[in-house]
Chain A
Amino acid sequence: MTFEERLKDILARMRDAKLDAIVALHDGAHFIETPNPVTVLTGFKSLGPAAAILRGDGRMTLIVAPAWDAERATEQCPQARVVGADDIVEALTAALSNGARKNAGLAGMRYLPSSIASRVAAALPAAPSADTLVFDAARTKTDDEIGHAREATRIAELGYRRLLDIARPSMSEDELAAELKWFMKTLGADDNFLLLCASPHNRAVQPSTGRRFQKGDIILAEITPSVRGQLAQICRTVVVGDASAELAEKYALVVHAMDQGIAAARPGVPMAEVCRAINTVLEAKGYGEFCHPPHIRRRGHGLGFASMRPGDVALDNETILEPDMIFMIHPNQYLPETGYLLCGEPVLLTANGAEPLTAQKAALATVAG
């Protein structure tokens, strides 16, 4: 699928929903858990608040802040009429004054700061939500997004190799995370959701702190570079010093659970089945209680920044899997004997099943202690 084909699909969905226009909004605070409808419609990742208006006849208006960023937006979205503005709501109101506000749907409102959302709501008081329409249309990735995800995965694996090369006792989590982020930027990553922490017994994977590594630590790394706005992630576990036989055994169990999840991910199957396949392995070993909150919330997730579809790998997600969906499968399991363990791969759904994008699957690793 191309970007243009996706836009045609969105226009068809607009006709079905009897919408004359879609107004998409984002505040510029890009976050892995927050979808960005402006990026879905335009491919543009803004510096500040941005809005996109897609009319039923296919005309697009892109409003970006700061105003001086309009030229970059024009370069990247030649199909759009670009408006540079320091106040996007004011510019949006002006752009909608020619009748486009009639039968317009709004996308992205729930993620906006209330200071922007309240003004937009006042300008378009009766507009229905168009979140489902926009994000569902982007549930599968375009050819370009798939290519970017592959490249982001390659960078993530090189970042992991770098971690194995440089992590050592006395280095802090913050120092290692900053170094890895920089290293992956030198390879072309434009952003990175890099959760990295360590402890002899982790309770969760968390943002890094100033804590320094010690022998016996288990380093957890969710390495998530972005290439041209498309994220990919690998989840890895590394021991500082030697890994105990018990830890190796438990890690193998979690990897096996992941393998079962990957095997279960096929077109036509609900996402919940992927989660269930992972849980089944762990429940069979007596870890049923640890397959639910607060120990685990999900077994994977979609990879944005644009759309988060197909959503979480969770028991309550009945989304039917389709070719060209990309998402994470990560058991990321807390076990009482070892603490939290990370293993996960980004996968591309194909007609034959889930294809891990990684060249090398997660395996318990060690660095000198």
Chain B
Amino acid sequence: MYTQHPTLLIGPSDWDDARAPKAEFEQRIAALWAAFPDASQAIVFGSAARHAELAYLTHFVPKLEPGIALLSRDGKHKLLFGGGPNMIGAMQPLTFITGMAPLNALGKLIDGWKSPLLVGGGAMASAVRKTVDDATNATAQDATAHVQGLMRTKSPTELAAIGAARDSLNATMKAMRDAVRIGGDAMIALLAGERAANDSGVQDIRTLFSLDGGRTLRPFEALDHTYTDPLQVYVAVRKFNYWAEGFACISNESQPAASLAALLLDNALSAIRPGVPVAQLSKILAVGTPYKLHPVTQGAPVSPLGLSLDAAPTTNFEPGEVYSVRAGLTDGAEQHAILSAMIAVRDNGSEVLWRSGIA
């Protein structure tokens, strides 16, 4: 899901061995070596906007300038950070990797590497990519898709982090509903929700909202105290590096579109179990006249959740995965609604972690 990307990531993301054990990161790196037995080094890139694979392997989320992990089969990893050597004080708390160096050392540190794995290379600026190609004689093998595959199945610690994010999502949505209930406009509800999110210790919060009853969504651009009922919102909160997200249609009155969306969503959720094609949900979430699919969700009714809000789509639901499932519809005139749920796929079905209420 696209949101407005902030110029600086502000919020707690220090690495904590109790919440994200180093041993688990080592297992993930070992799994990478196991899949590529001939590789002895890996270059893992992440920027403030696109860093899911880097966070998965190192816990490091670049708040400012990009970061690159240089992983080595012998365990002597290095984490390169942007912003100059004096930034190390703010960078070291973000990862278990103790070998830190400024990003401008990249070319020297990888000079002569043969066929290293490259993860996240597509997010590199062209100049960084050229440095990698020059130093490795363009022998790097793209392992991004493989790491993304590893990331799909969530461990108990990852599920706990997502659960914590889900709790913050609940607190955020409740604050928004409470604000609307007492007559608050979109701005008041949005800011009340973000206040509640901060109070619950989130690492990040992104919101979109509607000023036209849910027909379109927009990011916060300026204070606009237009009153709107229903208030359609999208909220994504991040805690311990993991995201939770939800759509809600908040109103003091019954909303026919929201009621229908709720039915569709329930139908979709009841169909989710291991092995079911993700595409099957599109059929369940289809709507008839006078409604059509909402433009925001029609291209992506189902989206994997975890370390990013824009993970690549998958083919089938599999145990251990977490998804956001969205039911969005519009009549193109007065009635619009998007609701959603977060689900964890289990061996014999699925568990609803969060679901839009109709308030």
Contact = CB atoms under 8 A, between A and B. Distances in A.
A318 interface: no
A68 B295 contact: yes
Interface string B1-25: 0111111111110100000000000
A242 interface: no
A113 B222 contact: no
Contact of B123 (A66, A113, A207, A293): A113
A209 B64 CA distance: 12
Contacts of A187: 223
Contact of A178 (B10, B49, B94, B299): B10
A186 B2 contact: no
Interface residues of B, number: 53
B125 A206 contact: no
Chain B contact residues: helix, strand, loop or mixed: loop
Interface in A170-194: 172, 174-175, 177-179, 181-182, 185-188, 190-194
Contacts of A228: 221-222
Contacts of B340: none
B273 interface: no
Size band of the interface chain A makes with B: 35 or more
B4 A207 contact: no
Given A114-B124, A190-B220, A192-B10, A207 B5 contact: no
Interface stretch (A15-23, A88-96, A196-204, A280-288): A196-204
A45 B63 CA distance: 20
B312 to A, nearest CB: 13
Interface in A271-297: 293-294, 297
Nearest to B144: A115
A227 B124 CA distance: 29
A86 interface: yes
Given A199-B89, A207-B9, A226-B7, A48 B84 contact: no
Contacts of B121: 114
A30 interface: yes
Given A31-B48, A113-B123, A188-B222, A178 B198 contact: yes
Contacts of B4: 30, 45, 47, 190-191
B47 interface: yes
Contacts of A118: 126
A210 B14 contact: yes
B245 interface: no
A192 B122 contact: no
B114 interface: no
Nearest to B208: A47
A32 B82 CA distance: 14
Given A174-B11, A182-B194, A209-B93, A29 B5 contact: yes
B87 interface: yes
A179 B299 CA distance: 35
A199 B89 CA distance: 10
Contacts of B94: 209
B10 A194 contact: yes
B127 interface: yes
A139 to B, nearest CB: 21
A188 B221 CA distance: 8
Interface in B199-232: 202, 216-223
Contacts of A206: 83, 86-87, 89-90
A110 B126 contact: yes
Interface in A8-50: 27-33, 45, 47-48
A247 interface: no
B39 interface: no
Given A68-B216, A193-B8, A305-B7, A210 B93 contact: yes
Q: Which 4 A-B pairs have the closest CB atoms?
A: A115-B122, A206-B90, A204-B86, A29-B49
19 contacts: A29-B48, A47-B4, A66-B2, A67-B295, A68-B295, A68-B296, A113-B122, A113-B125, A118-B126, A172-B12, A179-B198, A192-B8, A197-B90, A204-B87, A206-B89, A209-B93, A224-B7, A231-B7, A294-B84
